[in-house]
Chain A
Amino acid sequence: GDSVTQMEGPVTLSEEAFLTINCTYTATGYPSLFWYVQYPGEGLQLLLKATKADDKGSNKGFEATYRKETTSFHLEKGSVQVSDSAVYFCALATGGGNKLTFGTGTQLKVEL
């Protein structure tokens, strides 16, 4: 079945550091890939998406590239802020429906 594997957290960074959160997937067919973010006390929010190989999704300074050859969708940001502290979930959707399969989440803590 479909699955998503994320690097374990927490990831602790200083403000303005470079961020990478690794995500790899296993899926039948051609999945769409997503990063969702969950800020403390809030529901999940869509951060960015990519629907086909070599697509790059980007939003709020974050970006991720759909790599079919390595089945990966790593999240990157050049300079993190304290306000980026949250849990980040990688997810995929396959088939004609909208069903999402999530990874376990990676907590990011950004310190001054």
Chain B
Amino acid sequence: EAEVAQSPRYKITEKSQAVAFWCDPISGHATLYWYRQILGQGPELLVQFQDESVVDDSQLPKDRFSAERLKGVDSTLKIQPAELGDSAMYLCATSMRSRRGEQYFGPGTRLTVT
């Protein structure tokens, strides 16, 4: 069964450093999402791509976060500089264009900022 791949699974970084996460979607899934999940809470959408275009980044802290999906396939989420409050699980999910709300999630990247 096809899966969403994410790397790294765990990342520890010092505050003010740069960090990047990578996501490889299920083949053919046009829509890609990055979520942030703080411990004990539900995932919150950071950015949504349709193919290579951003369709929703209203909750992305653009002063320090950036995301790209070159060629509409895999995607990178970057934080620069990292802050202590960025410690969380970062989840990537993908979906087919026609399946409302049905998303396939990767295992996530657990970020700890020290």
Chain A residues at the B interface, C-beta cutoff of 8 Å: 4, 32, 34, 36, 41-46, 49, 51, 89, 91-93, 97-100, 102-105
Contacts and interface: CB of A to CB of B under 8 A. Distances in A.
A93 B101 contact: yes
A105 B43 CA distance: 9
Nearest to A51: B100
Interface residues of B, number: 24
Dominant secondary structure at the A interface: strand
Dominant secondary structure at the B interface: loop
A98 B43 contact: no
B3 to A, nearest CB: 9
A43 B100 contact: no
B42 A104 contact: yes
Given A98-B99, A98-B100, 18 more contacts: A32-B100, A43-B107, A46-B102, A46-B104, A49-B101, A89-B43, A91-B42, A93-B100, A97-B48, A98-B103, A99-B48, A100-B45, A100-B103, A102-B42, A102-B43, A104-B42, A105-B40, A105-B41
